[in-house]
Structure 1
Amino acid sequence: MSTTRAFPPPDGPGPEAEGAASAGSPPPGAQSRRLRLVGVSGAVPLSRDFTRQALHDWGWLPAATADHRAAAEDVLLVVSELVTNACLHADGPEELRVSRSGKVLRLEVADLGAGTPAPRTPHRAGRPGGHGMFIVQRLCLDWGVQRSEAGIGKTVWAELAGPS
């Protein structure tokens, strides 16, 4: 569990203007936030805290029921997995985008990596490591990879259902 810090940090990166266009932009009327992650240390806990604040601002937190709490925890776990993968396999994340439209929340992590994330097959539950994309696949409505139009880098995205 990460520690909760006030957001944004006074000397660190902060969210860009809401509604800024990006690859795979959310539909009109959606709420969106962006966090630059280039060169920051502690990208995973920073991303979790940023996302937790968005969930709070959008009324997902504090959770009113166990189902609401589970939905928010799933979002935070998927953010951790996507950002960790970018740190381990793509020389670090460039940006996290969190958007919501209706009852669907979309997470996007942009990086400069050339690889394509995929769940390990076969999945070996008893072994350390290699579970990130398996977790993403199990928790999300859908997920995928969008290559950069410039040919360098990609955005890994995932969509989760909001609490009922």
Structure 2
Amino acid sequence: MTTWQHRDTSRARHYALTDGPETVAECRAVTRQALREWFGQAGAAGCTAVEDAVLLVSEVVGNACRHADGPYELSLDHTDRRLRAQVSDASPARPRPSGPHRPARSSGHGLYLLDRLAAAWGCLPRPRGKAVWFEIDIPPEDPGHTPVRTPPGEVP
């Protein structure tokens, strides 16, 4: 089980993690919550940029679980229209593709997704391993988000 030690400022949140079966799901949940609180309607579930950000958190945290004995910290930071997420793990090995991207493979898509969806991403050395970070723009009104409206009298 993940142990959450949470530090929060108005602009950034830092979560100390321990590896466990729910780590990826919990990181997705706190990312969704931060996006809603920081960006309002533009940070709501279903918005393209929000779904992309949550997918990338899943990929980076999942890679730390698979290739580095688990992440030890998730950091979320933001400016007016950009989210920065950073996942730290104890391995000094930089992420690298296992070969050319092959869409038919069942795994190995994380770095490809970072290249395609993130505004920027990279890897920084840390005293205890490395940190993989990415940034994603959150537009004021995401054109990919169409709110679902339930007609009166119908159950959603």
Separation (CA, whole Å) in 2 of partners of 1:98 and 1:13: 14
- Following the alignment from structure 2 to structure 1, what is the Cα–Cα distance between the partners of residues 84 and 98? 23
Pick closer, same or farther for the CA change 1:97–1:85 going to 2, 3 Å. same
Q: Does 1:122 align with 2:100?
A: yes
- Give the alignment of 1:1-164 within 5 angstroms: 12-18=3-9, 31-58=11-38, 59=40, 60-62=42-44, 69-148=47-126, 150=127, 152-164=128-140
Shift of residue 14 of structure 1? 4.3
TM-score normalised according to structure 1 size: 0.77
Displacement of 1:162 in angstroms is 1.1
Q: Distance between the aligned counterparts of 2:57 and 2:97, measured in 1?
A: 16
Seq. identity, %: 39
Determine the C-alpha separation between the residues in 2 that align with 1:61 and 1:102: 12
Quick one: distance in 1 between partners of 2:112 and 2:23? 21
Instruction: Give 1:139 shift.
Output: 0.2
Q: TM-score scaled by structure 2?
A: 0.80
The one-letter code matched in structure 2 to 1:38 is T
In 2, Cα distance between the equivalents of 1:94 and 1:86?
9
Structure 1 unaligned residues grouped into runs of 5+: 1-10, 20-30
Cα distance in structure 2, aligned partners of 1:102 and 1:118: 31
Change (3 A) 1:100 1:112: same
Give per-residue Cα distances to partners, 1:86-133, cap 9 Å, x unaligned: 000010000100110121110100000121112444111111111111
3-state SS of 1:46 partner:
helix
State how many pairs are aligned: 138
CA contact (8 A) 2:27 2:58 kept: yes
Change (3 A) 1:81 1:43: same
Q: Secondary structure at the match of 2:7?
A: coil
Aligned alpha-carbon RMSD (Å): 2.1
Cα deviation, 1:137-162, whole Å, max 9, x if unaligned, reads: 110011100001x3x40000001111
Deviating beyond 4 angstroms after TM superposition, the runs of 4 or more aligned structure 1 residues are: none
What letter matches 2:76 in structure 1? V
Comparing 129-138 and 34-43, the one that deviates more: 34-43
Three-state SS of the structure 2 residue aligned to 1:155 is strand
Structure 2 counterpart of 1:15, one-letter code: H
Instruction: Give unmatched runs, 5+ long, in structure 2.
Output: 141-156
